[in-house]
């Protein structure tokens, strides 16, 4: 079976070219992106969030799959990276760009329950997981990637990943499946 995506968001190649120009090496990889698009399509009318926009690769995949009545909020603390994403995707009225630390966003979020959360940064994954799960609607999806060693990881990062994975079974409000596929993914559902 060929697990490469058979579709790609229109803006993705330009986003990845800008990532290369900036030296940004942490964009969502294509197989994970395809999964995000598929999961986003399952949430018509839903409010989705991405914590850790980077330069917008993950957001482009989410938008590719989202229905016209769904909404995406994507949060990034680096204004230069967020500007790249907004430059490529800002024409899409379904997306809102927030330049903030994910911790600050978690502290201030007062919107509707989330149908899907894609977390590509520490808050909401390695820190404050309970806070993020609390924002999901029952049946809301929780997706993280980069659970397999990556060349961009700092030397102490494997410990964070190991701790995260070791404590997942303790969560009574999250049923999840991990897979050693793509960059290493977890897809969970709030129960």
Of 118, 98, 93, 121, nearest in space to 110 by CA: 98
Domain that holds residue 120: 12-190
Domain membership of residue 141 (yes or no) is: yes
CB < 8 Å & 24+ apart, contacts of 145-149: 145/28, 145/29, 145/32, 145/120, 145/182, 145/183, 145/184, 145/185, 145/186, 146/26, 146/120, 146/183, 146/184, 147/178, 147/183, 147/184, 147/185, 147/186, 148/180, 148/183, 148/184
Domain membership of residue 164 (yes or no) is: yes
Please answer whether residues 21 and 87 qualify as being in contact, where contact means their C-beta atoms are separated by less than 8 angstroms.
no
Specify the CATH number for the domain of residue 53.
Answer: 3.40.50.150
Domain membership of residue 115 (yes or no) is: yes
Domain membership of residue 6 (yes or no) is: no
Whole-prediction pTM? 0.96
Neighbours of 116 (CB within 10 A): 25
Domain membership of residue 97 (yes or no) is: yes
The whole-number pLDDT of residue 154 equals 87
Task: Give the number of domains in the chain.
Answer: 1
Q: From first to last of its 191 residues, what are the pLDDT tens digits of the chain?
A: 899 999 999 999 999 999 999 999 999 999 999 999 999 999 999 999 999 999 999 999 999 999 999 999 999 999 999 999 999 999 999 999 999 999 999 999 999 999 999 999 999 999 999 999 999 999 999 999 999 998 888 889 999 999 999 999 999 999 999 999 999 999 999 99
Q: What is the CA angle 61-84-124, rounded to 5?
A: 60
The whole-number pLDDT of residue 148 equals 95
Domain membership of residue 7 (yes or no) is: no
Domain membership of residue 119 (yes or no) is: yes
Which residues are paired to 187 by β-bridges? 143, 177
Domain membership of residue 23 (yes or no) is: yes
């Amino acid at each position: 079976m060929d697990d490469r995506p058979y579709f790609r968001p229109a803006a993705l190649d330009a986003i990845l070219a800008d990532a290369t120009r900036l030296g940004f090496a942490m964009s969502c990889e294509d197989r994970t992106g395809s999964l995000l698009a598929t999961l986003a399509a399952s949430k018509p009318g839903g409010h989705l969030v991405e914590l850790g926009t980077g330069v917008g690769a993950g957001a482009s995949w989410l938008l590719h799959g989202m229905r016209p009545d769904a909404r995406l909020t994507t949060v990034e603390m680096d204004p230069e990276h967020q500007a790249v994403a907004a430059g490529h995707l800002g024409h899409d009225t379904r997306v809102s760009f927030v330049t903030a630390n994910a911790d600050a966003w978690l502290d201030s979020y007062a919107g509707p329950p989330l149908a899907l959360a894609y977390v590509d940064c520490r808050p909401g994954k390695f820190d404050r997981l309970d806070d993020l799960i609390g924002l999901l609607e029952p049946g809301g999806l929780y997706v993280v990637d980069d659970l397999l060693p990556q060349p961009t990881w700092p030397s102490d990062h494997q410990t964070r990943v190991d701790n995260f994975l070791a404590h997942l079974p303790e969560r009574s409000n999250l049923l999840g499946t991990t897979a050693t596929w793509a960059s290493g993914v977890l897809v969970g559902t709030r129960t």
